[in-house]
Structure 1
Amino acid sequence: MMSDTGTHVSLDIKAVDDDGTFSGYASTYAVDQGRDAVVPGAFAKSLATRPAGRLKMLRDHDPRQLIGTWIDAKEDGTGLWVKGKLLLDVAAAREAYTLLKAGALDGLSIGFRSIRDRWDSAKKVRFLEEIDLREISLTGFPMNESATVSAVKNEEFARRIVGAIERADARIRAA
């Protein structure tokens, strides 16, 4: 986009690349709707024995719907960040791709087995201290509402942001 002042402003608003690659948080350290909370470091042993390429990418935790591969998975200060690629030769993956691009599908959810956890009766939360991560699914309704694909496509919102930047730039140049 070109502003009135001649400044070029661009903003990448795609949640998924044309080749089907996307990223986001499969899990965060927040309490989910099931009253579970993953603690930092809970994925370490699992990722050491089952790295990203060995994790399954499913649609809605359905083992009959393998839709892609995970390229990278690592824990950071927010949670479990992942990068994956949809296999666009698979019909279910093409459907997921279309839904991701439209912003209709943006949730991520982990399929796991608890190895070590503790129940906090005061908070009524199960803290997952070590988990065996088996799969990560694209889903419309994640238990952890902050586990989502990054930068969900929303062209109108992006246009408003670019417009605001352009107006601010014009005011600064006029001052």
Structure 2
Amino acid sequence: MLEHKFHRPERGLVMTETAQGGRGIEGYASVFGLRDQGGDVVARGAYAASLARLAARAGRVKMLWQHDPAQPIGLWEEVREDATGLWVKGRLLTEVERGREAAALLEAGAIDGLSIGYRTLRAGRDGKGRRVLHELELWEVSLVTFPMLPEARVAGKSDDLPQALRELAGLFDEARRSLAGR
């Protein structure tokens, strides 16, 4: 079954103009050692085998809109693990309507999260009862509206949201926590 993890890197998601046209984006899609609201922690090295398998067959991690496989919005041109987590660099395809919309929404701060879509291959429990994800099969990295982690938003954008949206985000977070506990 495909699972999702959301993340807002401390350093934020950087947007630039690209030579090929479109909008370049880069940042951390996942950070090692952070507990999410579902109680999971991604361990260092969890993506290494999956990235190696993708590279061996010249495959790519997909860039999707809100985890919808019918809505690719760009290309991840570089995906790698480092000491911090899973770093991604790519470009939104502004030739595609949803890519233009995603760029505009990111620039305005209306969306500000990254989320990984993956399948767990190997996990265990630590002494605190948290599920530690040791090996993941990475399928996609999406741009998303509501992140699972409180930190899972692009830095500097969440303070610009109107109060009503902050309250709505809180309700979604509460519902997600409730569902994770079942």
TM-score by length of 2: 0.69
> Structure 2: which 5+ runs fail to align?
1-12, 160-182
Provide Cα deviations, 1:117-151, integer angstroms capped at 9, x if missing partner. 0023x423110000000000000112244455577
Which residue does the alignment assign to 1:22? 25
The yes-or-no answer on 1:97 pairing with 2:100 is: no
Q: Aligned letter for 1:111?
A: G
Q: 2:54 aligns with which of 24, 37, 50?
A: 50
Q: Aligned letter for 2:15?
A: V
What is the correspondence of 1:23-102 to structure 2 with a 5 Å cutoff? 23-29=26-32, 30-51=34-55, 54-102=60-108
Matched residues in 2 for 1:130 and 1:15: separation?
27
Q: Aligned letter for 1:134?
A: W
RMSD: 2.5
Q: Aligned letter for 1:17?
A: T
Matched residues in 2 for 1:142 and 1:50: separation?
26
> Structure 1: which 5+ runs fail to align?
1-13, 155-175
Answer whether contact 1:24 1:149 (CA < 8 A) is retained.
no
Provide Cα deviations, 1:22-50, integer angstroms capped at 9, x if missing partner. 11111112111211111000000001112
The structure-2 alpha-carbon separation of the partners of 1:20 and 1:56, relative to structure 1 and needing over 3 Å to count, comes to: same
Q: Radius of gyration: which is bigger?
A: 1
Matched residues in 1 for 2:131 and 2:44: separation?
14
What is the correspondence of 1:99-138 to structure 2 with a 5 Å cutoff? 99-120=105-126, 122-138=127-143
Provide Cα deviations, 1:79-105, integer angstroms capped at 9, x if missing partner. 111111101111111110001111221
The structure-2 alpha-carbon separation of the partners of 1:131 and 1:55, relative to structure 1 and needing over 3 Å to count, comes to: same
Q: Aligned letter for 1:131?
A: L
Matched residue of 1:96: which SS?
helix
Q: Aligned letter for 2:63?
A: M
TM-score by length of 1: 0.72
